[in-house]
Amino acid sequence: MKTINIGIIGYGTVGTGVTKILLENRHLIEKKTGTRLHLKYIADIDLVTDRKVKLEEGVLIGNADTILNDPEIHIIVETVGGDTFAKDLLLKAIEKGKHIVTANKALLAKHGDLIFENALKKNVTIGFEASVGGCMPVIKTLRESLVGNAINAMLGILNGTCNYILSKISCDKTPFAAALKEAQMNGYAEADPTFDIEGIDTAHKLAILVSIAYGAPINFKDIYVEGISKISPLDIEIAEQFGYRIKLLAISKWREEMIEARVHPTMIPMSNLLSGVNGSLNAIEIQGNAVGSMALYGHGAGMMPTASAIISDITDIVRDMVSGAAARVPALGFQREHIRPIPIMPISDIDTFYYIRFSAIDKPGVLSSISGILGNHNISIRSVHQKGQNQKGAVPIVMMTYMARESNIQAALSEISDLHIIEGEPVLIRVEESGPSKSALS
C-alpha cells in the first residue's frame, strides 16, 4: 500500500482534531483510499499542553522548518492561523512542491490570489474546504457539484461563534459576554474574537465563496461588513414578536456584471429554513440557474467538524496523487484565464426591506414627523409599532419598511436623528424576505 506522509503545523483546536481523525480512523481511511496516511510530524511552539492524544515518540516537534525541509513530507496541514507566519509557511511549502491543506480564511481572503497563483505554477494543490462553513462541503459543492450552474445568490450563516451567541441570547437569555465566553471555551472563536463578532470572519468566508461562485479574484476589501456587537436583546425580542429571527448573514447576489456581497445582522422570517439554524451550526442556501435553491447545513466551527473537512481535502489530494492528477480542480473553480475582476455593488445602491427602531419622546405628532421624512425619501412604511404608550421619556417606535434603497434610508435616518424628539441613534436591521422555506422540506 502506498504511504503518504503528512505534517501538521499548529497543534491547537483544529490541529488536534485532524490528528485524532488520522490516528483513530486510520483503518477506515485506508479502506476508502487504498493509501496509508502517515502522520510523520506535528509542529507547535507549545510542547507542554496536554492534547489528550497518544502520539508516538518524536512526532511532536517544536520547529515547523523540520516539516518544510523534510523531502518525505507530501502534504502540509496549516492550522496555525493568522496571516504572517502562515503566509511565509505556505509560500515556502509551495516552493518546495508540497501540497497544502489549510483552514485559514483570514490568510486566503488577504493573500489567496498570490498563494493560488504560486501553487498553480508549482502544480501543487491547496485544499481549503475547512476555511468556510466547518464541515459543510460548500467549496466542493460550488466548484464541483454545481459546476453546471450560474450562481444567482448565496445566503449563509457562516460564523459559528456569532450564531452561538445570537442563539444563546434568543433561547436562554444568556448575556452577550457570557455567550461569547462559552463559544471561546468550546473552541469556536478566532484567536481575536472581534474577527467573529464584528463580522470580519464571515466576510473573509464570503470573499472566498464569491470568488468561486463567479470566477473573480478574491475581493475582501469591498464587502460591506457589520457585526453583531450592537444587536440588543430588545431587538431580538421584538423581532421574535414580529415572527422573525436575527442572524448574521453573508449575502451575495448576482446583479448582471456586478455582485452584491454584504455581511450584516439580518432579520429573516421564522418560516425561513435558516431561522432554525442555531448554536454553532452553519447553513447556506445556494441558488443556481439549473439546480434552483439548495441548502447545506452542519457544524461550522469546533475541533472535529473542522478536522473532518481537512481530512476530506487530504484524501482528495491523496487520490489525485495516486491517480497522477494533481491540481485537477482549479482552486477557484474557474480556469485561470477566465478569472476577471467583477465589481462589488456599494451598500448604498442595494434595495432591501428594513426594520428601524427609534427612541422617541411620546407626544402628538411624533409619528407624522418620522413618517413624513421617510416619505420624502421615497420610503414606504409596511407597519408601525409603538412599545409602551404615554410614558414619560422616550419609547421605542418600530417601523418595518417596504423595499427601499439603502442610500435613501441612510439619508432619512440622518434627518430623523436630528429631530429633537429622537433620542440616541436609530437602530437599523436589514430584512431578507426571500429564502428557502421550512415548509419546502415537509
- In the complex with ligand HSE, the residue whose CB is nearer, 146 or 166, is 166
Residue 79 is placed in which grid cell? 492550522
Task: Note whether 9 binds ligand NDP by CB under 6 A.
Answer: yes
**Which residue type occupies 298?**
G
Dump the DSSP string for 301-370: SSHHHHHHHHHHHHHHHHHHHHHT-TT-S-TTSS-GGG----PBPPGGG-EEEEEEEEEEE-STTHHHHH
Task: Note whether 79 binds ligand HSE by CB under 6 A.
Answer: no
Provide, rounded to whole angstroms, the least separation between the CB of residue 120 and ligand HSE. Answer: 25
Dump the DSSP string for 200-253: HHHHHHHHHHHHHHHT-----TTSEE--STT--HHHHHHHHHTTEEEEEEEEEE
CA distance 307 to 134: 8
Q: What residue 176 binds from ligand NDP, ligand HSE, none (CB within 5 to 8 A, per partner kind)?
A: none
CA distance 126 to 117: 11
Provide, rounded to whole angstroms, the least separation between the CB of residue 311 and ligand NDP. Answer: 13
Q: What residue 79 binds from ligand NDP, ligand HSE, none (CB within 5 to 8 A, per partner kind)?
A: ligand NDP
Site for ligand NDP in 282-301 (CB under 6 A): 301
Residue 71's CB is within 10 A of a number of other CB atoms, namely: 9
Stretch (H or E) spanning 108: helix 105-122
**Residue 127 contacts by C-beta under 8 Å, 6 or more apart in sequence?**
99, 100, 101, 102, 310, 312, 313, 314, 316, 317
Task: Note whether 214 binds ligand HSE by CB under 6 A.
Answer: no
Task: Note whether 432 binds ligand NDP by CB under 6 A.
Answer: no
205 among known catalytic residues: yes
User: Binding mask 129-158 vs ligand HSE (x if CB under 6 A, - otherwise)?
Assistant: -----x------------------------
- In the complex with ligand NDP, the residue whose CB is nearer, 108 or 431, is 108
Site for ligand NDP in 133-192 (CB under 6 A): 134, 187-188, 190-191
Task: Note whether 313 binds ligand HSE by CB under 6 A.
Answer: no
Residue of 205, 253, 363, 387 with catalytic role: 205
Which of 421, 307, 402, 336 is CA-nearest to residue 20? Answer: 307
| # of chain residues touching ligand HSE (CB under 6 A) | 11
Residue whose beta carbon is closest to ligand HSE: 161
3-state secondary structure of 167: helix
Q: What residue 169 binds from ligand HSE, ligand NDP, none (CB within 5 to 8 A, per partner kind)?
A: none
Q: Which of 196, 198, 226, 235 contacts ligand HSE by CB under 6 A?
A: 196
Distance from chain centroid for Cα 12: 20
**Which residue type occupies 102?**
T
Task: Note whether 196 binds ligand NDP by CB under 6 A.
Answer: no
Q: Which of 190, 285, 316, 406 contacts ligand HSE by CB under 6 A?
A: 190
Site for ligand NDP in 63-122 (CB under 6 A): 64, 79-81, 85, 103-104
Quick one: which segment of 42-50, 217-225, 235-243, 369-377 binds ligand NDP (CB under 6 A)? 42-50
Task: Note whether 22 binds ligand NDP by CB under 6 A.
Answer: no
Q: What residue 159 binds from ligand HSE, ligand NDP, none (CB within 5 to 8 A, per partner kind)?
A: ligand HSE
Which residues make beta-bridge pairs with 354?
Answer: 430
Give φ, ψ of 349 to 5 degrees.
-95, -5
What is the chain's Cα-based Rg? 24
**Which residue type occupies 340?**
R
Question: Which spans of this chain sit near ligand HSE (rule: CB under 6 A)?
Answer: 134, 159-161, 188-190, 196, 201, 300-301
Catalytic positions, please?
A: 205
Question: Which spans of this chain sit near ligand NDP (rule: CB under 6 A)?
Answer: 9-15, 43-46, 64, 79-81, 85, 103-104, 130, 134, 187-188, 190-191, 301-302, 306
